[in-house]
A and B are shown apart, each in its own frame.
Chain A
Amino acid sequence: MKPFLTYRRWVGANLLLLALLALAAIAALSIGSESVSLGDVFTPGTRAHAIVFESRLPRVLLAALVGIALASSGSAFQALLRNPLADPFILGVSGGAALGAIASVGFGLSFAGQSAAAFAGAGASMLMIFGLARARGRLSPTTLLLTGVIFNAFCFALILFVNAIVTMEESYQILFLLIGNLEATGMRVVLMLGAFVVTGFALLCACAWRMNLMALGEDEAISMGVDVSRLKVWVFAAASLMVGAAVAASGLIGFVGLFVPHIVRLVAGSDHRLLVPASGLAGAAFLIMADAAARTILMHTGYATELPAGVVTALVGAPMFLLLLRRQQTRI
């Protein structure tokens, strides 16, 4: 018989994922266009020390935080919308956040200002999606996906509008946000993003057991003691906070919130008390590896360039989404 979740399994699974995350981080710190020796890395003043601690470390930390934000909010959206195809990117929440962040580029705001604008954008798109979900009882997968597609198209039109009226330099910054890039923007941004992500992630983990009951249906969750409207507000706020800050820092990185929870569910089961934290940790490990691959994949080909991480996640994620969609259609 499949085991159910116990305290011991919860701790064991999370420790295992933390170890995996540490391994991914060490691997990502040690590979790159320049090879570094272990001795030099820990000697301050050397080039290797500077490369690892000033260039690669912020980037690895950024990837980890963005991975946590996208994957854990993906698992939370799936629970609340009762749909395994939900993801911040597909739903248009990331698109709303990007619009906010990009509009604030137009106004010349700092990272904090961009985060606030992205948070507002994420919040507005989420309000719309949950508003539709409320009006219709249960959103069908088709309605959900169409809403996301339409909303994304709308956001992109506005983004291109902003792009048309800003300077060349700002336009480059906008492109950077659209592609989804983890090029380190410095330790200050990483620390601020860290504060947003840790808060949001802790909130989602605290709501996780209620998400289980939502799987049975909204009325059922209420009859089992969940204050559903309050749950929605909390999850809503936590996810907007994380997705907003992640998009402001790294732009549009797609599909992480879709397939990471799905793979974790296959391995660790559907219980959200484990699924939410485990998706966060696995998402962090995945995005660190995806970014390391993006940095190095073109290294020996003669192209003197790096791929943005968003390219790698989309290349892995888009086929995965189609597979999931097919599976869901055969099941419903």
Chain B
Amino acid sequence: MSIILEANDVSFSFGALNVLRGVSVTVCKGTVTGIIGPNGAGKSTLMRILAGTLSPASGSVILDGKPVARMHPGERARHIAVVPQETHIPFPFTALEIVLMGRAPYLPAFGFESRHDVDVAMAALNATDCTHLAGRDIAELSGGERRRVIIARALAQETSILLLDEPMSFLDLRHSSELARLLREKARSSNLASVAVMHDLNLAAAFCDRIIILKDGSISAEGTPAETISSGVIGSAFNVRVSTGRDPATGAPYCIPAQ
């Protein structure tokens, strides 16, 4: 499997607080990587650094052999799409207008979206089960619906890398497992590499190829779900007692808080 995105020994601090301490991550084409860890572990900061919207204090992020820091934002936007943790949209855009914004990196200057762009946007809305929301005002949607529209916007950007910060928050059980399945499906069909910060360990265990556990600004463990979703690793990362088992149908590990 070939590497598409890698962070080498990146560190970052907000004032005196060291948020990330020498973190290295490699992401391969056509894989789903889950980043898990307790609150305040530096997950979102790592995502912003991977996305190139935040420059690390030291270390570098390399996209397909090129440092992202030196890429033009327009070029980077054709390679990396981002789903942020929270989105506040102050104006009454329709859902379709929001998704069409994902086509911006491909529009000519002063141009308007072509038929093709609209088709891509509609397909993205369809992929996240939002076709029926296309004409609705984004501010009137529920938290989960808005999330799915924002994810559709990132898909419409047609990039080879998708970075999602807690994409499953606000999503119900069906939509969060459908999203995880969609990421898997895109990994296989179009070689998409996705990296998602997740809080649902069982969902991560069932759908990720690799799991990275971040704690206090550094990686405390990483590997396949079988290697990382164990009572020892999870217990020490989150400081809780968990019991683990295996899904009899797929063999995927799961864990639940112990009594």
A residues touching B (Cβ–Cβ < 8 Å)? Answer: 1-2, 4-7, 10, 78, 82-84, 138, 206, 209, 212-213, 215-217, 219-220, 222-227, 265, 269-271, 273, 331
Q: Which residues of B77-110 have CB atoms within 8 Å of chain A's CB atoms?
A: 77-78, 80-82, 84, 87-94, 96-98, 100-102, 104-105, 107, 110
Q: Is B113 an interface residue (CB 8 A)?
A: yes
B82 and chain A: residue at smallest CB distance = A223
Contacts of A5 in B (CB 8 A): 97, 112
User: Bound state CA distance, A10 and B135, in angstroms?
Assistant: 19
Nearest CB in chain B to that of A273: its residue: B112
| Contact A224 to B112, CB < 8 A, known contacts A215-B93, A265-B91 | no
A1-B135, A83-B90, A217-B87 known; A224+B97 contact, CB < 8 A:
no
B78 to chain A minimum Cβ distance, whole angstroms, is: 8
Contact A220 B82, CB 8 Å, known A5-B112, A265-B92, A270-B91: yes
Complex Cα–Cα for A61 and B162 (A): 51
Nearest 8 CB-CB pairs, A to B? A1-B135, A225-B77, A225-B74, A223-B82, A270-B91, A225-B105, A219-B53, A2-B135
Q: B73 touching A222 by the CB < 8 A rule?
A: yes
The complex places the Cα of A210 from the Cα of B98 at a distance, in Å, of 13
The answer on a CB contact under 8 Å between B105 and A224 is yes
Interface residues on B, range: 35 or more
Flag if B139 contacts A331 (CB, 8 Å): yes
**In whole Å, how far is B135's beta carbon from the nearest beta carbon of chain A?**
3
> What 14 additional pairs, Cβ within 8 angstroms, besides A212-B97, A223-B82, A225-B78?
A82-B88, A84-B91, A209-B110, A216-B87, A217-B88, A219-B82, A222-B53, A222-B73, A226-B104, A265-B92, A270-B91, A270-B92, A270-B97, A271-B93
A306 CA / B174 CA spacing, docked (Å): 66
Contact of B104 among A10, A219, A224 (CB under 8 A): A224
**A273 neighbours in B (Cβ, 8 Å):** 112
- How distant is the Cα of A224 from the Cα of B157 in the complex, in angstroms? 8
B102 cross-chain contacts in A, Cβ below 8 A: 224
Contact between chains at A1 and B134 (CB < 8 Å): yes
Chain B residue at minimum C-beta to C-beta distance from A220: B84
By a CB distance below 8 angstroms, the chain A residues around B77 are 223-225
Q: List 20 A-B contacts (CB under 8 A).
A: A2-B94, A2-B135, A4-B100, A5-B112, A206-B110, A209-B110, A212-B104, A213-B101, A215-B90, A216-B87, A223-B53, A223-B80, A223-B82, A224-B77, A224-B101, A224-B105, A225-B104, A226-B73, A269-B92, A269-B94
Chain A residue at minimal CB-CB distance from B74: A225
Q: Is B51 an interface residue (CB 8 A)?
A: yes
Closest to B154 in A: A223
A214 to B150, CA, bound (A): 14
Chain A, residue nearest B73 (CB):
A225
Given contacts A4-B97, A224-B77, A331-B139, contact A217 B84 (CB under 8 A): yes
**Option from A78, A222, A269 in Cβ contact (under 8 Å) with B97:** A269
Q: Determine the chain B residues whose CB is within 8 A of the CB of A209 once the complex forms.
A: 104, 107, 110
Q: Which residues of B contact A (CB under 8 A)?
A: 48, 51-53, 72-78, 80-82, 84, 87-94, 96-98, 100-102, 104-105, 107, 110, 112-113, 118, 134-135, 139, 150, 153, 157
B98 touches which of A78, A83, A216, A226 (Cβ 8 Å): A216
**Chain A interface mostly:** loop
Best-surrounded residue of B81, B89, B107 (most CB of chain A within 10 A): B89
In the assembled complex, the CB of A226 is this many whole angstroms from the nearest CB of chain B, namely: 6
Chain B residues lying within 8 Å of A4, measured Cβ to Cβ, are 94, 96-97, 100, 113, 118
Instruction: Compute how far the CA of A241 lies from the CA of B89 in the bound complex, rounded to whole angstroms.
Output: 28
From A1, A215, A217, B96 is in contact (CB under 8 Å) with A1
A83 contacts across to B, CB distance below 8 A:
90
Q: Report chain B residues within 8 Å CB of A2.
A: 94, 96, 135
Chain A residues within 8 Å of B91, by CB: 78, 84, 215, 265, 270
Neighbouring B residues of A226 by C-beta, 8 Å: 73, 104
Chain A residues lying within 8 Å of B87, measured Cβ to Cβ, are: 216-217, 220
The answer to whether B112 and A82 have CB atoms under 8 Å apart is no
User: A285 to nearest B CB, angstroms?
Assistant: 22
Is the Cβ of B90 less than 8 Å from the Cβ of A82? yes
Given the complex, which residues of A lie within 8 Å of B118, measured CB to CB?
A: 4
Within the assembled complex, what's the spacing in Å between the Cα atoms of A78 and B89?
12
Report the separation of the CA atoms of residues A210 and B155 in the bound assembly, to the nearest whole angstrom: 19
Q: How far is the CB of B80 from chain A (nearest CB, A)?
A: 7
Closest to B77 in A: A225
User: Which among A1, A7, A83, A220 has the highest number of chain B CB atoms within 10 Å?
Assistant: A220
- Tell whether A7 pairs with B112 under 8 Å between CB atoms, given A1-B96, A220-B82, A225-B77: yes
Q: Are B97 and A223 in contact (CB under 8 A)?
A: no
Distance from B14 Cβ to chain A, minimum over Cβ atoms (Å):
12
- Closest B residue, CB atoms, query A332: B88
Distance A224 CA – B153 CA, assembled complex (angstroms): 10
Nearest CB of chain B from residue A279's CB, rounded to whole Å: 13
Residues on B with C-beta less than 8 A from A225 are 73-78, 104-105
A108 to B84, CA, bound (A): 53
Contact check, B93 vs A270: say whether CB atoms are below 8 A apart: yes
Best-buried of B82, B84, B90, B96 by chain A (most CB within 10 Å):
B90
Nearest A-chain residue to B89, judged by Cβ: A215
Contacts of B81 in A (CB 8 A): 223
Kindly state the separation between the CA atoms of A217 and B82 in the bound complex, as whole angstroms.
Answer: 12
A217: chain B residues at CB < 8 Å are: 84, 87-88
